[in-house]
Each structure stands twice: as structure tokens, then as C-alpha cells.
Amino acid sequence: MKAATLITLCLTALTSQAYASSPDAWAAYDKTVLASCTKASGLKEAKPVGNAAQFDDRVGYTALLLQGQYPQKHMKGAQGTELCLYNKKSKTAYVTEWDSIRPAAKAQ
């Protein structure tokens, strides 16, 4: 194989990998992240706050903020916030409470 042909093939392979996924593929991925995070959440009626944060593939995570209601009776339906980290490789969602992201209520 000629060197020029080999170089052309290598460049073609690299160029094809540089293109982003299709809008449909991103929509399906977003749906998967939302479903996994919602399932892992301890909140009732958990809903996303804004869009997911897509980290570089070297990091390997997508972050999604969720809000809902605490299910515990003593919480009396209080609003709660959780941060979900979705591991792209293992396809696993991890959540932690993150109520501190919301502004504190003003004292009267």
C-alpha cells in the first residue's frame, strides 16, 4: 500500500470520528439519562431543572439537577433538590442531596 493511500485512510478515519452524534442519538441519550437519574432519585415526582451538563468523555459523566418532593412523612412534602451523575461507561446513575444549591429562605 502506498504511503499516500495509508495517510488518506488514516485521515478519513480520524475525520469521521470527529463528527458529533445525530440529534436523534442525543435525544435518546438524554432520555436514558433522565430515566436512570429519576429512577435513582429518592424524590417523588422528580423533574429535571434545566438541561443536563455534558462533561468531556475523559471525565465520563453527565450531570443532571433534579427537583421533587421528599417522600418521608416528617418532611411534609417539602421540596428537595438532588444532583445526579450519570456514568457514561457503566450506564449507572448516582444521586446526592443538593438542597444547598437553592437560595436560603429569608427570615421574617
Q: DSSP states of 9-20 as a string?
A: HHHHHHHHHHSP
Q: What is the pTM of this model?
A: 0.74
Residue 78 domain flag: yes
pLDDT above 80: residue 7: no
Residue 30 domain flag: yes
Contact at 8 Å (CB) between 68 and 44? yes
* pLDDT given at position 12: 42
Q: What is the pLDDT of residues 33-68, one digit of tens each?
A: 999 999 999 999 999 999 999 999 999 999 999 999
Residue 72 domain flag: yes
Residue 3 domain flag: no
Sequence letter at residue 53: A
